[in-house]
Amino acid sequence: MKNIEVKVLDNDLEKAMRILKKKIQNDGLFKRLKLKKSYEKPSEFRRRKQREALRRHRIAAAKRRYR
């Protein structure tokens, strides 16, 4: 598990909360918590993994096209 730290400067709690939320989202913690909340059937797990791989592949292909 990765430690996520945010420094609060000048008692600006609102800005620190926004930064923390962004760091957590980029780390994928929200997604992992959502997946662990309920049971996922093995067939749904495989289908989700396949969709994620396809999405990553499309994004990589698009980046290669625009270089």
Helix H or strand E encompassing 48? helix 42-65
The position carrying tokens 């620190």 is 16
Q: What is the predicted pLDDT for the residue at 1?
A: 58
Residue 61: phi and psi, rounded to 5, are -65, -40
Is residue 60 scored above 90 in pLDDT? yes
50-65 average pLDDT score: 95
pTM over 0.85: no
What is the DSSP secondary structure assignment for residue 30, as one 8-state letter?
A: H
22-33 average pLDDT score: 89
Contacts of residue 12, Cβ cutoff 8 Å, sequence gap at least 6: none
